[in-house]
A and B are shown apart, each in its own frame.
Chain A
Amino acid sequence: MTELWHDAFLLHQRPYGNTSVIAEMFTLENGRISVIARGAKKPKSKFFGVLSPFSKLRITYRGRSELKTLTNVDKEDIFSDSFSKLSYTLLYINELLIKILPQGAPQSELFKLYDKFLIEVKSSEEIDIVLRKFELDLLEMLGYGINFINEVDSGQSIELNKSYDFVPELGFKESPNGLFEGNEIISISKLNFKDINKKKFKSLTTMAIGYSLDGGDLKSREIFKTLKK
């Protein structure tokens, strides 16, 4: 039987034994899978130096158990020779995907979204905005989409001059001293992010993602917040 080639991204790898690694892969057809790359840490291995995150890979693997065996890897492109100021964002995104994606469930739309995100974030001047858009789309695709159109209790349209609080499991709730102004919510719904306060926008997606993770926390948020002057 010939093995099929799959488009894939490496989300994370950890050492296994002295020379092997176990890699979490995000594949176009089969979603998130775990593979073992035997001997990958040996400089002469065909896997050495090719297993890098954020670059589009083509892989083949085999096996019926949950842990597959990686048989070939081809690197299609090189993401970048330096991650520098993107590194926090990239570590965050991959932690988020690993924690939010169920294993072995196909998520081809999300795969394409991630692919697009990586291309955009590399060349964007506004990393936060690209990241927020990705978070909103991700929530939508996984069934946690935010309703930016209606108020939760009355069902009426969000109004420009009213203020609202965001309740993660419900949506926007009218409140005299709410954190979000109606005009901000309407702007986000129209994908117009220019005048949105960045901190508020971030707190919105943080709350929504926290809810989708069932209150589970992301280590990257904790790490990159600590000690910050």
Chain B
Amino acid sequence: MADIKGTQLIHEYLRHNKKFPHVFCSGCGHGIVLGSLIRSIHGLGLSKDDVCIVAGIGCSGRLAAYVDFNTVHTCHGRALTFATGIKMAKPGMHVIVVMGDGDSMAIGGNHLIHAARRNIGVTALILNNNIYGMTGGQCSPTTPAGANTQTTPMGQMEQSFDCVELCTAAGANFVARGSVFHVKRLDSMIMEGIKNPGFGVVEIMTPCFTQYGRKNGFKSPVEMFHALKKNVVKRERFDEIPEADRGEKVPSGIFVQKDTPGLEEKFYEMAARCQGGK
């Protein structure tokens, strides 16, 4: 980040022919993720032409339209399938997938675990606000037990997914969790994720005051940021907290970092052998 700083840097990457304002509510965390993503791409010195942002459907999916990369806004839950095609077709491309919690783990849950198992070389950012933001605040697979949502008016009764454990179990090469409060750490996690070969996931805890906070005891978006500050703790510290005292706390940091080559690398190696006369 040598010459240009802060907002100036962000403007370098925003599309000037895109009609603003953006769609996000004030207090939404999604824009912070976009800032972090831009700083990470800039920090890695990637050329805009070599970056492809593939987004799902949800408030989170709207990120793609604003930035001056190759951008594809796909169907609800299916972003990873499009990304798989792009990466297999253009293995040199840095393919970054932006999804919501419902997008990635409900309707797109099967694609998520298979992308992890297949180890396709794309980096998935999962913007987890524990709710379906775009459609008006229905329960998502990460809505905590007891929470009040439009479809759980008496409180959420199901178990929720732990994104990190899910992706780890499915075999992802890189698994991390950060938050939009801890931005510096988030920047470095996203950078690590993009650099790592194979399938990477960064789960990003982010507040949705409009559809979640208001109905679950938060007085303002700021309070939700305070909660993130308190509850998203480094995994080393988390491990030290006695289980009974953990409450709403979740561990953050990098949980998995393997260097297994991505599917696309393995495929083209195999193809080169086939074409070299077996």
Whether both chains belong to one complex is answered with no
Contact residues of B with A, CB < 8 Å? Answer: none
